[in-house]
Structure 1
Amino acid sequence: LSSNDIIEIYGFTKDPDTLKYMVVIDYANKGNLRENLTKIVENNWNQKLFMLYQIVSGLSKIHEQNLIHCDFHDGNILIHRDKKDKEDKVYICDFGLCQPVKSFLIEYDYYGVLPCTAPEVLRGKSYTPATSDIYSFSMIMWEFTSGVPPFNNRAHDIQLSLNICKGERPEIVENTPQCYVDLMKKCWNEDPLKRPSSKEVLK
Structure 2
Amino acid sequence: MSSIYKKQETDSSADIDWLEKAIVEEHIKFYDYSHFNNIQEISIGSVGNIFRANWKDSDTVLVLKSSYKLTVQEIVNELKIQREVDFHTNILRFYGISKLRTGLIHQMNKYLLIMEYADGGTLHSYLIENFNRLDWNDKLRLAIQLANAISCIHNEDIVHGDLNSYNILVHQNNIKLTNFGLSRKITEDSHYDEIFTNKLGIIPYMDPQSLYSMYKLQEEIKPYELNSKSDIYSLGVILWQISSCRRPFYPEGIEYDIDLVKEIKKGKREEIVEETPVKYSNLYTACWVDDPDKRPNIYDIVLSLKELETE
Q: What is the TM-score normalised by the length of structure 2? A: 0.59
Residue 149 of structure 1 aligns with an amino acid whose one-letter code is R
Residue of structure 1 aligned with 2:299, choices 191, 199, 203:
199
Aligned residue for 1:85? none
1:46, distance to aligned residue in structure 2 (A): 1.1
Residue of structure 2 aligned with 1:24, choices 69, 89, 114:
114
Judge conservation of contact 1:104–1:127 (CA < 8 Å) in 2.
Answer: no
Q: How many residues are matched?
A: 196
Residue of structure 2 aligned with 1:126, choices 216, 225, 228:
225
Residue 233 of structure 2 aligns with an amino acid whose one-letter code is Y
Judge conservation of contact 2:161–2:230 (CA < 8 Å) in 1.
Answer: yes
The residue correspondences of 1:126-145 to structure 2 (distance < 5 A) are 126-128=225-227, 130-145=228-243
Residue 3 of structure 1 aligns with an amino acid whose one-letter code is H
1:165, distance to aligned residue in structure 2 (A): 2.0
Aligned residue for 1:80? 171
1:155, distance to aligned residue in structure 2 (A): 3.6
Aligned residue for 2:159? 68
Residue 263 of structure 2 aligns with an amino acid whose one-letter code is N
Residue of structure 2 aligned with 1:146, choices 240, 244, 254:
244
Deviations 1:106-162 (A, max 9, x none): 68112211110010111221113x111011111111112222111223541111112
Aligned residue for 1:112? 201
Q: Secondary structure at the match of 2:152?
A: helix
Residue 258 of structure 2 aligns with an amino acid whose one-letter code is I
Whole-angstrom distance in 1 between the partners of 2:131 and 2:150: 22
Question: Closer, same or farther in 2 for the Cα pair 1:104/1:168, shift >3 Å?
Answer: farther
Runs of at least 5 residues in structure 2 that lack an aligned partner in the other structure: 1-84, 104-108, 214-223, 304-311
Aligned residue for 2:264? 164
Whole-angstrom distance in 1 between the partners of 2:292 and 2:230: 7
Judge conservation of contact 2:93–2:116 (CA < 8 Å) in 1.
Answer: yes
Aligned residue for 2:48? none
Question: Closer, same or farther in 2 for the Cα pair 1:58/1:149, shift >3 Å?
Answer: same
Deviations 1:34-55 (A, max 9, x none): 1111244431111111111110
Residue 131 of structure 1 aligns with an amino acid whose one-letter code is K
Runs of at least 5 residues in structure 1 that lack an aligned partner in the other structure: 82-87
Residue 8 of structure 1 aligns with an amino acid whose one-letter code is R
Residue of structure 1 aligned with 2:128, choices 14, 18, 38:
38
Misfit runs of 4+, over 4 Å: 103-107
**Higher RCO by CA contacts (8 Å cutoff, separation 6 or greater):** 1
Q: Secondary structure at the match of 2:95?
A: strand
Whole-angstrom distance in 1 between the partners of 2:130 and 2:294: 29
Residue 142 of structure 1 aligns with an amino acid whose one-letter code is W
Question: Closer, same or farther in 2 for the Cα pair 1:47/1:199, shift >3 Å?
Answer: same
Whole-angstrom distance in 2 between the partners of 1:133 and 1:195: 10
Aligned residue for 1:9? 94
State the structure with more CA Rg: 2
Whole-angstrom distance in 1 between the partners of 2:266 and 2:110: 41
1:79, distance to aligned residue in structure 2 (A): 0.9
RMSD of aligned C-alpha atoms? Answer: 1.9
